[in-house]
Structure 1
Amino acid sequence: MLLYTGLLFFLTEFCQSASAEDLLSKHRFPDDFLFGVATSAYQIEGGQKGNGYGKNIWDYYMETYPGKFYSPGTAKIACDSFHKFREDVKLIKNLGVQFYRFSVSWGRVLPEGYSHNINKDGLRYYNDLINELLANGIRPMVTMYHGDLPLALHELGGWTNPYMAYYFEDYARVLYSYFGDRVKYWITFNGACIGYGDDGFVPFLNQSGIANYLCNQVLTLAHAKAYHLYDKEFRILQKGKIGIVFSGNWYEPGSFAVDDIEAAERAMQFKVGIYANPIFHPDGDFPKLVRERVHDVSRKEGYLRSRLPEFSREEVEYVQGTYDFLGFNCYTSFLVENVAEDTSEKTSFHKDLRVKTYQDKSWERGKSSWLGIYPEGTRKLLKWVKENYDDPEIIITENGFSDNGELNDVKRIKYYQKYLSAILDSIHEDKVNVKGFAAWSLLDNFEWMEGYSEKFGLYHVDFSDPDRKRTPKKSVQWYKKVVKERRIVELDEISSRLKGDL
C-alpha cells in the first residue's frame, strides 16, 4: 500500500509539473504575509578587532588551515556591518520589507561562550541595531546560532557534547533578557550538522554516521531547552514566537522505478525528517524509517548499539511540539536514485542513506555548484511538510540566487519570480500555511567556504573598497515593487535603467 501511495503521489506531481504552463502565478500575497531580507552575523559583520569579540571556529580554521578553503579571503571585515549597520538599515527600509532576519554572534555577546563573561560592547551593538530597525518600522527576526560556535565550546567537543544544550540555554537566557522586550521572532538554530560528518566544511570533524547524529540530537535538545525557557519565564511578558530553521531541499525520484521512489522518501526522512520529526511530528522522535535503518546497518557492521543516539521517552515528550513556526531555507532540489547495499563500505551517513542524488541537466543554474533551479520542488516540499507535520506555520527564511555580482542581475529576478510563484501556489492552491519570505541576501557577503567568489546580494558590496561601498542591483527595484504591490512583478514593469545609490 505504501509503495502504491508513493507511486501515485509521484505520478500526480510529475504530471502536474509536466503539463503546467511556464507562467507566473497570478495570485496575490495575503495581507498578513511578511516580506523580509536575511543575513548572518559572521557573513557580514566584520568588526573582529577589539570590541570584546571572542574567536569562533571559523576564525580558528581560516587562520590555522587556510588551504582547506575553496576561495581565499577572511571575514575579519566582511561587509563591515558592525560599523555600517545604520546604513544597512536604510537599505532595508528602502526595500519596504516588514522584517530583517539577522543572527547574533554568540562570541560577540559571550566571548568565551559561557554566561559568566558578557561583553557589554556586543550587547550595545545588537541593542543599537534592534532599536534602529524598530525606529524605521522593521521587525527584527533574530537567529541565535548561525554556525559561528565560540572556539572554547568547540574544544569541548562542540555539538557532540550533551552539555552544549545547557550552555545554549544559558546563551538564550542572555538574549531573551537583553533583547526580548523588542524581539518578537526568535530562531534557535539555522541549518544542519554540516562539517560533523564530512571534511568539506568547518569544523571538518569528518566522522560520518556518528558525529553528525550526535550533533543532531544535541541541537534538538538545545532547541527544546531554549523553547521551554522562553515558555516558562519570558513568553507571558514578551509575547514572542520561537522557531527553528532547516534546509528546505526537495528530493524527488529520478525515475518511475519503485526502488527510486522508495529512495526519494528515504532521502526526505534522512535529510529533512531527522531534524524536523522530533519537534514537528505528532509522535516526536526520529523518523521510524531512519531509526530502523541505522540500527540495522549498525548491527551488521558489528556495533554493539545503534550509531543513532536514542531519545528517552521523557526526552521525546520534552522535545515534541516545541515550536511556534518552522523556518525553511529553500534554494534547490535533487533527483534521487536508489543505490544497492554494499556491506564492504565503511561506516557513513551515505551508507545508511543508500541513495545517489543528482540534478537534471536541463535545469538552469546559479554560480554555486549545487544551485539547480527547480521551483516546483519547493512547492512539493511545502506540501509534504503540511501533510507530514500537521500543517505548521512556515516562514521561508532564505531563498536566493548566486552569480558573479553583476548589477544588472536579471537572472536573480527570474529566479525569485519562479520561486515566489511556486510559494504563492502553495498558499492558494495547496493551502499551505506559509506566512513569510526572506530574500537571501541583503548584501553580497562572505559565503563560507566559497569566500567572496559567489554573490547572493540584492545590494552589491565592493570588497576592494575600504569603505565597502554598497550599490543597489536591478533586483532591488524589482523586489521593492513586489513588496509594495504584494504580487509577482514582470520584468518589463521595472525601469531598464540601473539607479544609483538609494
Structure 2
Amino acid sequence: MMLRFLTLFALIFCISVTESHKIKSARHDVRNFPEGFLFGTATASYQVEGAWDVDGKAPNIWDHMTHNDPCLIKDCSNGDIADNSYYLYKRDVEMMRELGIKFYRFSLSWPRILPTSFPDEINEAGVQYYNNLIDELLKYNIEPMITLYHWDLPQKLQELGGWTNPFIVDWFGDYARIAYRLFGDRVKYWMTINEPYQVCYQGYGDVTKAPRLNMKGIAEYMCGKNLLMAHARAYHIYDDEFRSSQNGVVFIAYSAQWYEPESENEIQAAEECNQFMWAFYVHPIFSETGDYPPIVKERVAAKSAEQGFARSRLIEFTPEEVDYVRDTADIFGLNHYSTNFVYRNDSVNGYYESPSFYDDMGVIMYQTDEYKIGESDFTKSIPWGFYKLLTKIREDYNNPTVFICENGFATHGGLNDDDRVQNMRTYLSAMLDAIEEGSDVRAYAFWSLMDNFEWMQGYIERFGLYEVDYEDPERTRTPRKSAFVYKEIVKTHSLDFHYEPTDTVMTIDEL
C-alpha cells in the first residue's frame, strides 16, 4: 500500500512540475517588455573577424590550435577568414540598423591590439579597426558593449602558462587599462571575461576548448582563481582610474545553464550542481560573504584528502583576496542556452575520471530528446529553466540588475528557421515571467547577429539571425525568418507568438 502511495505521489509530483513548466513558458498572448528595455545582438572577435595575420595581429590560442591540428574542429575549419568582419564591419552595422537594435556586444582581440601581449607595443592598425567599428555604431545610435576577453588568448601568454599563471592578473589588468584608455571615451559597457567555466574547465581541465590542456581536477581550479582575480583587477582599475571621467559600468559574462532535479529526491544534488557549474564564479562576486560556495570548498577538500593530496586542489582565496573580488560587478551578465536534469546515486562512483571537477561535484547530468526541436542536437529548448535560473539569481544574490548577454539556438542552416523563432519566443516569454515576478532584467542580446565560427563545431552549427554564405568570397549575409521576427519584437517592444513576417527584403528603419 505504501509503495502504491509513493508511486502515486511521484506521479503527481512529476505532473505538477510539468504543468508548472508549461505555465511558465507557453503564454501566447501579446506581452510587452518593460519601458527602457534594451535589445541587441552579440558576436566575438575570433568567431567573426577573420584577418587572422594581417596588419600586425599576433597569433592567439585558436590560431595555434586550428593550424597545428585542423581536424580537432568538427569540419576541419578555422577562423582565418570567418565572416571577414575585419573588412565587412559596415555591412554588419547595416544589419543591426535593419534589425533596429539598440546595442551590439562584440569582443576585442587581445593580440590584435597588443601583438607582444604587453603594453610596450600598441598595434595602431588594430586600434583603428575597433575605432572604425565603434564610430560606425555610434553614428547610428547603436551602443557598443565590449568584451575584453572572449577566449582568444595570445599564444605567447599561453606558452607562459596562460590562465594558470598568476601573473596573468597583471597582464590582463594592463590590457584592460589600454582598452579603457583607447575606447572608454565612447564605450560605456565593459565585460571583462566571457564565460569563466568554459575558459577554465573546457580549456584547461578538459579538451573541448583551446588550449585543451586536459589537466582535470587541477588546472581548472588554478585558472578559476586567477581569472576571478584578473576580472577584479580590471574592475578596480576602471573604478580607480576611469569611472569618474568615463561613467561606464564593468561586469562579467557568466555562462549559467539551469540544473533541474530529476525527482524530488535529487533537489540537493541539483542545488550542488548549480553551485559548482556557475555559482563557483558568481558567489565570489555577488554574495554578501564573497569566496567560493561553501559546498564547493567542502567537497573538493574532502575529495582531495581521500585521494592523498596534501591540501585541497581548490586554491582558496586569502581573506584579503575575498574582499578584493567581492562586489566587483555593476551588472550580472548572463549567457544562457539550456537546462540539464540531475541525479546522484551509487553509479556516480567511478563514473568520472578522478581527480576531476565533475568527480568532485559527484552528480550525473543529462538531457532528453523530449526537448529537441529541429535537426541540431547542440541546443535543447527548455525555456522554463531560464525562468528558474533568473528566479534563483534574484533570490540568492539580492536581485542584481541582469543583462542577458547571450541566448540563442543552433540550426544547420536555411532561411526558414521556425525552430529558432520558436526558441526565441519561448525563452523571451520565460524571461518576461521572471521580470513580472520582480527579476531586474534590463537587456537582451540575441546570439548571434550572424552565423560564425562555432568553436569546436566549426561552421556546422549555425546561430545567426543572418545566414552567412561561406562558399562566397564576399561572405554574403542574408536575413533568416528569425531576423524579421526579432525586428518586429524590437520595433513593437512586444512579444506576439502569432506574428508572421510578410516582408521578403530586410529594410532599414530610422533609429
TM range (shorter): over 0.9
- The correspondence for 1:147, drawn from 143, 148, 151, is 151
Asked if residue 208 in structure 1 is aligned to residue 216 in structure 2, the reply is yes
**Superposed counterparts of 1:135-174, under 5 Å:** 135-174=139-178
Asked if residue 489 in structure 1 is aligned to residue 493 in structure 2, the reply is no
* Identity fraction in percent: 44
- The correspondence for 2:206, drawn from 193, 198, 205, is 198
For 2:338, the aligned partner's letter is T
- Do 2:26 and 2:426's aligned partners in 1 also have CA atoms closer than 8 Å? no
SS in 2 for 1:279: helix
**Deviation for aligned residue 1:339:** 3.8
SS in 2 for 1:199: coil
CA distance in structure 2 between the partners assigned to 1:142 and 1:154 by the alignment: 23
SS in 1 for 2:388: helix
Q: Which residue of 2 aligns with 1:89?
A: 93
SS in 1 for 2:371: coil
CA distance in structure 2 between the partners assigned to 1:452 and 1:343 by the alignment: 35
- The correspondence for 1:102, drawn from 106, 112, 115, is 106
- The correspondence for 2:385, drawn from 365, 372, 377, is 377
Q: Which residue of 2 aligns with 1:422?
A: 430
Asked if residue 471 in structure 1 is aligned to residue 471 in structure 2, the reply is no
Q: CA 1:491 to 1:73, structure 2 compared with 1: closer, same or farther past 3 Å?
A: farther
CA distance in structure 2 between the partners assigned to 1:20 and 1:184 by the alignment: 34
For 1:489, the aligned partner's letter is D
Q: Which residue of 2 aligns with 1:413?
A: 421
SS in 2 for 1:100: strand
Q: Which residue of 1 aligns with 2:397?
A: 389
TM-score normalized with structure 1 length: 0.94
Asked if residue 453 in structure 1 is aligned to residue 460 in structure 2, the reply is yes
SS in 1 for 2:57: coil
Asked if residue 402 in structure 1 is aligned to residue 410 in structure 2, the reply is yes
SS in 2 for 1:232: helix
**Deviation for aligned residue 1:71:** 1.8
Asked if residue 294 in structure 1 is aligned to residue 300 in structure 2, the reply is yes
CA distance in structure 1 between the partners assigned to 2:149 and 2:56 by the alignment: 19
Q: Which residue of 2 aligns with 1:273?
A: 279
- Do 1:45 and 1:82's aligned partners in 2 also have CA atoms closer than 8 Å? yes
CA distance in structure 2 between the partners assigned to 1:41 and 1:375 by the alignment: 28
- The correspondence for 1:303, drawn from 305, 309, 333, is 309
- Do 2:98 and 2:507's aligned partners in 1 also have CA atoms closer than 8 Å? no
- Do 2:31 and 2:496's aligned partners in 1 also have CA atoms closer than 8 Å? no
- The correspondence for 1:325, drawn from 328, 331, 341, is 331
Q: CA 1:160 to 1:367, structure 2 compared with 1: closer, same or farther past 3 Å?
A: farther
Q: Which residue of 2 aligns with 1:313?
A: 319
Structure 2, unaligned runs of 5 or more: 1-9
**Deviation for aligned residue 1:268:** 0.2
Structure 1, unaligned runs of 5 or more: 1-6
SS in 1 for 2:148: strand
CA distance in structure 1 between the partners assigned to 2:162 and 2:374 by the alignment: 33
Q: CA 1:220 to 1:25, structure 2 compared with 1: closer, same or farther past 3 Å?
A: farther
Q: Which residue of 2 aligns with 1:3?
A: none
Per mean C-alpha deviation after superposition, the further-off stretch among 96-105 and 25-34 is: 25-34
Q: CA 1:183 to 1:364, structure 2 compared with 1: closer, same or farther past 3 Å?
A: same
SS in 2 for 1:59: helix
- Do 1:471 and 1:501's aligned partners in 2 also have CA atoms closer than 8 Å? no
For 2:488, the aligned partner's letter is K
**Deviation for aligned residue 1:49:** 3.3
- Do 1:58 and 1:202's aligned partners in 2 also have CA atoms closer than 8 Å? yes
CA distance in structure 1 between the partners assigned to 2:490 and 2:234 by the alignment: 32
SS in 1 for 2:79: coil
CA distance in structure 2 between the partners assigned to 1:29 and 1:465 by the alignment: 38
**Deviation for aligned residue 1:471:** 0.9
**Deviation for aligned residue 1:138:** 0.1
- The correspondence for 1:346, drawn from 317, 338, 354, is 354
**Superposed counterparts of 1:106-125, under 5 Å:** 106-125=110-129
Q: Which residue of 2 aligns with 1:46?
A: 50
CA distance in structure 2 between the partners assigned to 1:343 and 1:357 by the alignment: 15
Deviations 1:29-82 (A, max 9, x none): 111111000000000000123211110000001111223222221111110000
**Deviation for aligned residue 1:274:** 0.4
For 2:318, the aligned partner's letter is S
For 1:459, the aligned partner's letter is Y
Q: Which residue of 2 aligns with 1:236?
A: 244
Q: Which residue of 1 aligns with 2:179?
A: 175
SS in 2 for 1:36: strand
Q: Which residue of 2 aligns with 1:188?
A: 192
**Deviation for aligned residue 1:24:** 3.1
CA distance in structure 1 between the partners assigned to 2:136 and 2:324 by the alignment: 37
TM-score normalized with structure 2 length: 0.93
CA RMSD, Structure 1 to Structure 2 (Å): 1.9
- Do 1:24 and 1:417's aligned partners in 2 also have CA atoms closer than 8 Å? no
For 1:354, the aligned partner's letter is G
Asked if residue 226 in structure 1 is aligned to residue 234 in structure 2, the reply is yes
